[in-house]
Chains A and B, each alone.
Chain A
């Protein structure tokens, strides 16, 4: 089985996967929510995002892909995804955000040659709240992508474990 370092990241750096993460996310939002993601004018690392959806990857690529946003953004995503009015969105927000994360992770891995078969996805986990710490045994820095959904910030992160 190939390890992640043998996978065809174009320049040998995992940084080259960031554009693939972006394309994967854009496709999910365009096709499933009918919305275009945009790039923020400035990189805002200070915004605290209170909902985190995570999908584990295991096999040739081990890690965690997460999508973070705030509650208002998650509600709007759910509304767009289901095609219902904003004020009718209820507890399905977590399910919707989990499914978005699942699709971004699946779409991302399918864009890396040879990874589709060799990498499995876990069911999504959704954490609500800001007051928690996350310890990762990742052996390289995470890749992070900040985008805007309807002008509101979302963060997509890939922590690679091996």
Chain B
């Protein structure tokens, strides 16, 4: 797998670091990791940066993860980029909502590095 650029969107900086560590433990070669604290910040990041993968929380201030994913369709740098949600919201309806908004994967917190790998590798393969 080629070296990739990942965007991690979560209002917790600790969680962003954990997700990055899990990606590295999953054997994903990270060329660059970009971070954003909410959906609006992430849209700004995508104005100036092309990425290969987006990992996104749902419950965030300013703009939540579901609204962010909906708005991605209008962002040139996000075309075809797989989005995997990582969230405490584990209900079936949240999963359905996220997938219908365009997410390719859904990981419930708490999670293991292995679970991140199981969801991210197929999402990247289907890019």
Q: Which residues of A contact B (CB under 8 A)?
A: 27-28, 30-32, 78, 81-83, 92, 95-96, 98-99, 102-103, 105-107, 110, 116-117, 121, 123
Beta-carbon contact of B112 and A78 below 8 Å: no
**B77 close to chain A: CB less than 8 A:** no
B73 within 8 A of A: no
By a beta-carbon cutoff of 8 Å, the part of chain B in contact with chain A is: 11-15, 17-18, 21, 59, 61, 87-94, 108-112
Q: Establish whether residues B109 and A103, one from each chain, have CB atoms under 8 Å apart when the complex forms.
A: yes
- Of all chain B residues, the one with the shortest Cβ separation from A118 is B91
A96 to B89, CA, bound (A): 18
Show 20 residue pairs from A and B whose CB-CB distance is below 8 angstroms, ordered by the A residue: A27-B110, A28-B110, A31-B112, A32-B109, A32-B111, A81-B18, A82-B14, A82-B18, A95-B14, A99-B14, A102-B88, A103-B88, A105-B88, A106-B90, A116-B89, A117-B91, A117-B94, A121-B88, A123-B11, A123-B61
| Pair B21/A83 contact, Cβ less than 8 Å | yes
